Amino acid sequence: MTTIASESRTRPAPRQYHDTGNRWQTILLEVIKYAVLIPLTLSFAFPLYWMISSALKVDSQVYTMPPILLPFPIHPENFIEGWQILPFTRYAVNSVVFYTVPAVAFTVLSSTIVAYGFSRIRWPGRDTIFWLVVMTMMLPWAVTMVPLFITFKWLGWLDTYRPLVVPALFSHPYIVFLLRQFFMTLPEELSDAARIDGASEFGILFRIILPLTKPALAVVALFRFLWAWNDYLGPLIYLRDENRYPLALGIEQLSRRANDVGNFSNGIPYLMAVSTLVALPIIVTFFFAQRTFIEGISLTGMKG
C-alpha cells in the first residue's frame, strides 16, 4: 500500500526506468515471477489442504490410488468420532486451563514490569545489564534442560504443569526485548508529567504506558499463546500421567493407536481430523489477528 503510494508520488512513470527500455524483458520477468510464485504457494498450502481434506474421508477414500483431491461424499462426523477415541476434551482443558492461560498471563505480566524497568526508568548500568537479557535470548535451551529437570524433580513437580508455567513468572527474555522496543518509542514527557503529579512508577506503567501499548501486548500475548499451545518437548519431558496430557501429546498418542493396524478403522482420517481441530485455533487466530502477527514478527528482525 505505502509502496504504491510513494511510488506514484515520486515517479509518475516508473516503468520507463524499471525495464531500461526493454519491454520484453519486463514481461518475461513478470511471467517467471508468477510461474514460480503460484506453484510455490500451492505447494506451501497443500499439506494443510491435505490434512483438512483427508479429515473428511473414510479409509476406502484414503487408500485409493491415485489420491482423491476432492473427497465425495464427505464425512464430517470424523471430527466428532476422532475426538472421542481418546479423552481429547480433557486434553484441551489441560492445554488451555493448566498451560496456555497461566503461561500467557504470567509471562505478559512479569515481562511488562521487567521491560518497563529496562526502558522507562533511567538507572546506572541498565543498558549493560540489558545485554545479558539479549544474551539469554540466544542461549540454547538444551543446556538448561537436564539440570532444570533435576531441580523440578527434586521439588516434586514432575507430572504437573508447574515446570512449564512457574518460570513464566520470571519474565521471558524475548518478550522483554519486544516490549522494551515498544516502550522506548513513547515520549519521555508522558512519564515526566505523571511523575510531577506524584504518580508512582507502577501507577505510570498501568495507567499511562499500558493503555498506549495494547497492540504490543496483543503481539506478545499471541506469541506466548502460540509457544504454549504448540509446545511438545516440554510436556513430553515433564508429564507422564495420560490424564494430564495437553493436546500435543494427545495427538501423538492417537497416532500410535492409529498406526497399530487393526486397532480401529479410519485411523488416518481421525488423526487428520484431530490435527485439524488442534491447528484450527491457531489458523483462526491468525486470520483475525493477521496484522498483529505480521507486525510482531516484523519487529523481531528490527535492530537484529
Cα–Cα distances in angstroms (integers) from residue 134 to residues 131, 163, 179, in the given order = 5, 23, 13
Q: Is 36 in the site for other proteins (CB under 8 A)?
A: yes
d(CA 210, CA 224): 18
Residue 120 CB, nearest distance to other proteins (Å)? Answer: 9
How many residues line the site for other proteins (CB under 8 A)? 97
> Of the candidates 13, 138, 196, 261, which one interacts with other proteins according to CB under 8 A?
138
DSSP structure class, residue 303: T
Burial classification of residue 209, based on how many CB atoms lie within 10 Å of its CB (0-12 exposed, 13-18 middle, 19 or more buried): buried
Q: Is 146 in the site for other proteins (CB under 8 A)?
A: yes
> Of the candidates 160, 208, 255, 289, which one interacts with other proteins according to CB under 8 A?
255
Residue 153 CB, nearest distance to other proteins (Å)? Answer: 7
d(CA 210, CA 181): 14
> Of the candidates 28, 40, 134, 184, which one interacts with other proteins according to CB under 8 A?
40
Cα–Cα distances in angstroms (integers) from residue 219 to residues 5, 119, 130, 179, 181, in the given order = 27, 18, 21, 9, 12
Question: ∠ CA 267-270-274 to the nearest 5 degrees?
Answer: 140
> Of the candidates 183, 266, 268, 292, which one interacts with other proteins according to CB under 8 A?
268
Nearest residue to 226 (alpha-carbon basis) of 259, 248, 205: 248
Taking contact as CB under 8 A, which single stretch among the options 59-67, 76-84, 97-105, 208-216 is the one that binds other proteins? 59-67
Taking contact as CB under 8 A, which single stretch among the options 78-86, 140-148, 181-189, 209-217 is the one that binds other proteins? 140-148
Residues 80-99 close enough to bind other proteins by CB under 8 A = none
Three cell numbers written together for 298: 516484523
Taking contact as CB under 8 A, which single stretch among the options 96-104, 183-191, 211-219, 225-233 is the one that binds other proteins? 225-233
Q: How many angstroms separate the first and last alpha carbons of the chain?
A: 25
Q: Is 144 in the site for other proteins (CB under 8 A)?
A: yes
> Of the candidates 129, 134, 155, 284, which one interacts with other proteins according to CB under 8 A?
129
Q: Is 35 in the site for other proteins (CB under 8 A)?
A: no
d(CA 136, CA 153): 24
Q: Is 155 in the site for other proteins (CB under 8 A)?
A: no
Q: Is 21 in the site for other proteins (CB under 8 A)?
A: no
The pair phi, psi for residue 84, each rounded to 5°, is -90, -5
Binding mask 157-196 for other proteins (x = CB under 8 A): ----------x-xxx-x--x--------------------
Residue with Cβ nearer other proteins (80 or 142): 142
Cα–Cα distances in angstroms (integers) from residue 52 to residues 69, 76, 107, in the given order = 11, 10, 33
Taking contact as CB under 8 A, which single stretch among the options 74-82, 185-193, 212-220, 293-301 is the one that binds other proteins? 293-301
Give the helix/strand (H/E) hosting 21: none
